[in-house]
Amino acid sequence: MTPEEKYELFEKYCRQDLSVEDKATLDQILTEDEAANQELKVYQELWSHLDSNFTTEKQQQELKDNLKQIGDSYFNTTTTPKKSKVIQMPKWAYAVAASVVLFFGVYFFNQGNPTYDDFATIPELSMGERSNSNEDAKNVEKVFNAGDYKAAENYFSSLLTEDPDNTQYQFYYGIALLEQNKYANATTVFESLYKGNSVYRYRALWFEALNELKQEKYESCAGLLKKIPEDAEDYQQAQKLLKKLD
Amino acid sequence: MGNSKPHADQKYIEALLRNDSKVLAEIYERFAPKVVGYIKKNSGDESRAQDIIQETLITIYRQATEKKLQLTCPFDAYFFLLCKRKWINELNKSSNKEVTINEGVVSIDDESARFAEETELYAAKHELFEEMFDQLGKACKELLKTTFTIKSLEEVAQKLGQSYGYVRKKKSLCIGQLTQLVQSAPRFNHLKNLL
């Protein structure tokens, strides 16, 4: 028997596709030839390995992605919190960034008043663990980070009905409103936050200042900026903006 | 592995199979701290621990899909043992010398150790098979991928414009070639008695 014929028999065996004659031939080979016995075992193992691997390739990838997310959120929330995401830039990007800065520098120099777009940096929304169990939480993360603030507003409305005291929801809800120029609503949200005691207190103050800036209400903007204390995350930016407003 | 009833912690295996985020998050909550603690104590950090945990879970998933893994021991010791040994292997790989680390973090019962060994053996085979598969020619790789993704050989034959008999023959030759590659790999000798 040629190796070709042998492997074809092995293949039929694994596919449970043996005819009566095939089976007799195979049985005979296996009783006479110990090496063929071993070989069939390996062939069968490989067959099952390939079968399982290719059949579940997609699920395996999905599981990997999901575990990565769950792991990220676990390691970010329970242990030393990472301050902010560091995005690796290729070297040429620094050159581009530098020229952009230069361009804006020149641009501002010639312009009068600072604008909202110059100063607003929208933080990334991360719902952590919740996005694994709550559909709305998962969706809002997606749409908010994609810049679809209309959709984000809707999700936050429903999330806040369930959990009205959640300050993270409130803060990002405020940003979603501000991005859509719903100034008055945004003010209500930010105001209640900066009068409260949550971690979002000063961030809300900064964004309410940006809200005023967007409406070109420079005086009230400056008033709010002055309330941002030195140890707040946005203090430097606030000072910079104050200088421009002077 | 025996006919004994599955342990209640079989739910973690099922969660991997169903990609059930809620229970998977519970795995991290309940079992990661011990692994992280161990890896940090032994020249690692959190990010390495995250990788080790994820890779170990994927290995368990693979074994469960292919071999219908049924846990009859608690997940805790089994999982910890796997992560720990994986970490020791990593250290060995990078330092090129045997690293021995004090065992005594948890007491390991025989059952858990047996399950962990089974999974490690599975992982070792998996790795060998993948490496050998990589050595196959492009044509074989593609044919195997196609025939195992599309189960029906008739369909594959039609797609490739070949006869059924031709496809089956080619496929069996490719797996035959792979069989020979595996059998001639030096590492195979350690594994072969365990198949």
The tens digit of pLDDT for each residue in B28-71 reads: 999 999 999 999 999 899 999 999 999 999 999 999 999 888 99
CA distances from B191 to A34, B92, B129, B185 (A): 18, 20, 12, 10
**Cα radius of gyration (chain A):** 31
Instruction: Give me the residue from B126, B145, B183 closest to A49, CB to CB.
Output: B126
| Chain B contact for A71 (CB, 8 A cutoff) | yes
pLDDT-derived band at B105 (thresholds 50, 70, 90) equals very low
Residues 75-134 of B with CB under 8 A from A: 125-126, 129, 133
What is the residue-averaged pLDDT of chain B? Answer: 87
Helix, strand or coil, per DSSP, at residue A216:
coil
Residues 8-27 of B with CB under 8 A from A: 16, 19, 21-22, 24-25
Check B46 against A39: CB less than 8 A apart: no
Note the ipTM here.
0.88
Q: Which residue has the tokens 């690692």?
A: B44
Higher pLDDT, B2 or A65: A65
| Chain A contact for B32 (CB, 8 A cutoff) | yes
By C-alpha distance, which of B115, B104, B94 is closest to B1?
A: B115
Which residues contact residue A197 at a Cβ distance below 8 angstroms, ignoring those fewer than 6 apart?
Answer: none
Q: Tens of pLDDT along A12-43?
A: 999 888 999 999 999 999 999 999 999 999 99
> What letter represents residue A22's amino acid?
D
Indicate the Cα dihedral angle B17, B59, B45, A132, nearest 10°: -10
B67 sits in which H/E element: helix B46-67
Check A56 against B65: CB less than 8 A apart: yes
Rounded mean pLDDT, A165-179: 92
What is the residue-averaged pLDDT of chain A? Answer: 86
Chain A residues closer than 8 Å to B133 by CB: 50
| Chain B contact for A54 (CB, 8 A cutoff) | yes
CB A228 within 8 A of CB A235: yes
Check A10 against B176: CB less than 8 A apart: yes
Structure tokens at B98: 């045997």
Residue in B with minimal Cα distance to A2: B173
Does residue B106 carry a pLDDT above 60? no
Q: What is the pLDDT of residue A70?
A: 93
Which of B141, B148, B187, B193 to probe by mutation at the A interface, max A CB count within 10 Å? Answer: B148
CA distances from B127 to A39, A42, B170, B180 (A): 19, 14, 24, 16
Shortest Cα distance from B97 to chain A (angstroms)? 30
pLDDT-derived band at B101 (thresholds 50, 70, 90) equals low
By C-alpha distance, which of B65, B54, B55, B71 is closest to B12?
A: B71
Structure tokens at A127: 């719902």
DSSP state of A141: H
Residue in A with minimal Cα distance to B29: A74
Which residues contact residue A126 at a Cβ distance below 8 angstroms, ignoring those fewer than 6 apart?
Answer: A73, A76, A141
